Amino acid sequence: AQSVTQLDSQVPVFEEAPVELRCNYSSSVSVYLFWYVQYPNQGLQLLLKYLSGSTLVKGINGFEAEFNKSQTSFHLRKPSVHISDTAEYFCAGARAQGGSEKLVFGKGTKLTVNP
Amino acid sequence: EAGVVQSPRYKIIEKKQPVAFWCNPISGHNTLYWYRQNLGQGPELLIRYENEEAVDDSQLPKDRFSAERLKGVDSTLKIQPAELGDSAVYLCASRARSGNTIYFGEGSWLTVV
């Protein structure tokens, strides 16, 4: 079975502070992992993805994530957040074999950046 | 290049009425998905098409939901009759045959009153 767990439903931070959004996955096979961002009243936008290779993945808007196979984690980080980063962030996984045919999402983490 | 296009963006209907959502995937993408996102939740897959064939519809409530992708390009998702619990965002997404990334549209926001 495959599942994705986002450990925090809400994360409030101050502007220019660092942030980490946590994601753990459960899978008996190799997985592809993704982070998507959803701004208010909008669809999902891909932030970054891990398919294979380097475990540190850099994405758009200064975000990065690290794939940790031993801890089955794929945490999202940003060293200094802006007000405009306020959004909901979704971690998602898919079986690597056969391609990312079906994404399984976590429940999301709402990031609020305060001035 | 145009992204995944969905319409309408917003729809408010009374319960028991029908509603339909339309999606045009990214050009050349043979895989099309419909996801439903309830408030405060992550998206959940309703149906996946490979070209015109529905290859995974196990999560589609077939008593009231139907979908089609007749020519393997655009797709329509229908609900008839709608229930209060159908209020959600309906997201369409697409993926290229050789790709590993699923691209999402802006979503169709349904409110059933």
pLDDT reported for residue A43:
87
Cβ distance B95 to A108 less than 8 Å, yes or no, reads no
Contact between chains at A92 and B42 (C-beta distance less than 8 A): yes
**Whether residue A99 has pLDDT greater than 80:** no
Residue A1 has pLDDT above 70, yes or no: no
Cβ of A45 within 8 Å of Cβ of B104? The answer is: yes
pLDDT at A37: 96
Which residues of chain A neighbour B5 with C-beta distances below 8 Å?
A: none
B44 at interface of A, judged by CB pairs closer than 8 A? yes
Share of chain A above pLDDT 70, in %: 96
In angstroms, the CA A8 to CA A21 distance is 7
Rounded average pLDDT over A42-46: 90
C-alpha separations of A36 from A5, A29, A74, B52, B70 in Å:
14, 22, 13, 27, 30
pLDDT in tens, A64-88: 999 999 999 999 999 999 999 999 9
With a CB cutoff of 8 Å and minimum separation 6, the contacts of A16 are A80, A81, A82
- Please give the full DSSP string across chain A, using - where no structure is assigned: --EEEES-SEEEEETT--EEE-EEEE-SS-EEEEEEEE-TT--EEEEEEE-SS-SEEE-GGG-EEEEETTTTEEEEEESS--GGG-EEEEEEEEESTT-S-S-EE---EEEEEE-
Enumerate the residues of chain A whose CB falls inside 8 A of the CB of residue B45.
102-103
**Residue-wise pLDDT tens digits, B74-108:** 999 999 999 999 999 999 999 998 888 899 999 99
For residue B1, what pLDDT is reported?
Answer: 66
- What pLDDT score does B113 carry? 97
How far lies A112's CA from each of A39, A84, B107, in Å?
Answer: 11, 9, 22
Structure tokens at A111: 């990031």
Best probe of the B interface among A101, A104, A107, A110, by most B CBs < 10 A, is A101
| pLDDT given at position A105 | 93
Distance from the Cα of A70 to chain B's closest Cα (Å) equals: 23
pLDDT at A107: 94
* pLDDT at position A63: 97
> To the nearest whole number, what is the mean pLDDT of chain A?
91
Tell if the CB–CB gap between B40 and A49 is shorter than 8 Å. no
Residue A28 confidence (pLDDT) above 80? no
Return d(Cα A14, Cα A29) in angstroms, integer.
38
pLDDT over 80 at B17, yes or no: yes
For residues A54-59, give the mean pLDDT: 94
Over residues B21-51, the pLDDT tens digits come to 999 999 999 999 999 999 889 999 999 999 9
Give the pLDDT band (50/70/90) at residue A100: low
